[in-house]
Amino acid sequence: MVLTAVILSLVCAATAEFNVVRHVSKAPRSVEPAVVPAAHTPAAIEKGQSGIPAGTVSLNNTAILEGSDLDQEYLTNVTIGGQTFKAIIDTGSSDTWLIKKGFNCFNLTGAPESTETCGFGSDGFDTSASPTFKAFPNVSFNISYGDGEFLSGPVGFDTVSVGGLSVTQQEIGTPDLAAWEGDTVNSGLLGLAFSSLTSVFNTTDPTKASNENHIPYDPFFFTAVKQGVVTNPFFSLALNRGALTVNTTEDPNLGFLAFGGTPPVTLDTTAVTVPIHWGYSATTGDPSTKSNAVFLYYTVDVAGYTFPGSTSVTTKNNNTIVDSGTTLNYLPTKVAKAYNAQFVPKAKLDKDSGLYFVECNATVPAFSILEAGTDDDGNIVCISGTQDGGEDTPENVFILGDVFLHNVVSTFNIKTDELTITRRKKY
């Protein structure tokens, strides 16, 4: 089954402009580990039918989110071993990790830097101060992200609490080596995708991590379901648009992450429920239609896109990730081109950066926002919220990021392997 243009008709709520500085947002990593330095048709589109059990809106087990990095990242409080930190909420990766106290910092080329350069929001997680931490010997944590950041280090088990939901003996990464371009607020990440995407390996040398010695484990929410501490096997995400000034580092009350329910925001009656696409190779991470393929991301098939002023832009069945850890939408080339032509004046493609730039006072078509920031000379520049993700070919993976998620509540059901998207009322 494939997701047709109806999913994108859900995002015709208000558009907005807000400030950003960094235009390159995090993209999904390959399952291939980093080499670190040696030191479909909708299943339900009915009025009032969301695919979510009635009466599940609740503040119980609901985490309040805040924005950071000029609202390019969404954070919440995560308590591990009695220590509380800000962590990025990421549906595009699976590991829960906190930087370890005493870590070593590197830049993206692998050269050593001061710990301040990595921009974490704390000195790190002190495993020795946790009464419940237990080390996992003879293994290592090793992850890389699409923007070049990477981390590696020890692994352990501890009690993890988020939004009032607590699990025991949760496997976590405690990296002591990091190449990270942080926001000076977060100290880690809460990954919410599938176990096949986790990043623990049966080796103490992170440079020898490979698909052959990969050891999958249950991520935080999967553990919560298995331990029976959450009633329903789904979580829901509501990301609010921010309105930061360039000098602000934190933006409070920017949404909710609800475990086993839906967040306390006002919803429309329009919703769509579609299956999560299973087409990834367990060994390479590439899109696959073979029977042994596994879930990695929350991926759906998108058959076409429509927006005001255009005819429907059809696509081949493709893998499109719904990813809270990516700021922009990265869509097939012809979709991005057709959409960005709807700005008045039209967006212009910068060949050097590969990004569509627009006038900051341009008329914005539905299904996007403007993201404003500064160039190297300090001039205000704006880019489209929908960018070119590459040609519409089976090996490419596309992303519906925060620009899309601002206008909907997305509900991820790990038991039925379905994604429900419900339109939010204008806010």
Q: What is the pLDDT of residues 153-167, one digit of tens each?
A: 999 999 999 999 999
Q: Which entry of 69, 71, 90, 388 is annotated as an active-site residue?
A: 90
The string of pLDDT tens digits covering residues 268-303 is 888 889 889 866 776 776 767 677 778 899 998 887
Lowest average pLDDT, out of 26-35, 150-159, 186-195, goes to 26-35
Catalytic: 205? no
Task: With cut-offs at 50, 70 and 90, classify the pLDDT of residue 141.
Answer: very high
Catalytic: 90? yes
Task: With cut-offs at 50, 70 and 90, classify the pLDDT of residue 62.
Answer: very high
364 domain-assigned: yes
19 domain-assigned: yes
Tokens 């405690």 belong to 174
- Checking if the pLDDT of 33 tops 80, the result is no
Q: For the chain, how many structural domains are there in total?
A: 1
- Is 248 exposed, middle or buried (CB count within 10 Å of its CB: 0-12, 13-18, 19+)? middle
Q: Which entry of 158, 218, 301, 323 is annotated as an active-site residue?
A: 323
- Checking if the pLDDT of 93 tops 60, the result is yes
What's the domain range around 360?
6-424
Task: With cut-offs at 50, 70 and 90, classify the pLDDT of residue 366.
Answer: confident
Q: Domain with 13 in it: what CATH number? A: 2.40.70.10
- Checking if the pLDDT of 416 tops 50, the result is yes
Highest mean pLDDT among 226-240, 358-372, 382-396: 226-240
45 domain-assigned: yes
1 domain-assigned: no
94 domain-assigned: yes
- Checking if the pLDDT of 22 tops 70, the result is no
Q: Single out the residue of 390, 331, 368, 403 nearest to residue 15, CA to CA.
A: 368
384 domain-assigned: yes
* C-alpha angle 330-187-127 in degrees, rounded to nearest 5: 135
211 domain-assigned: yes
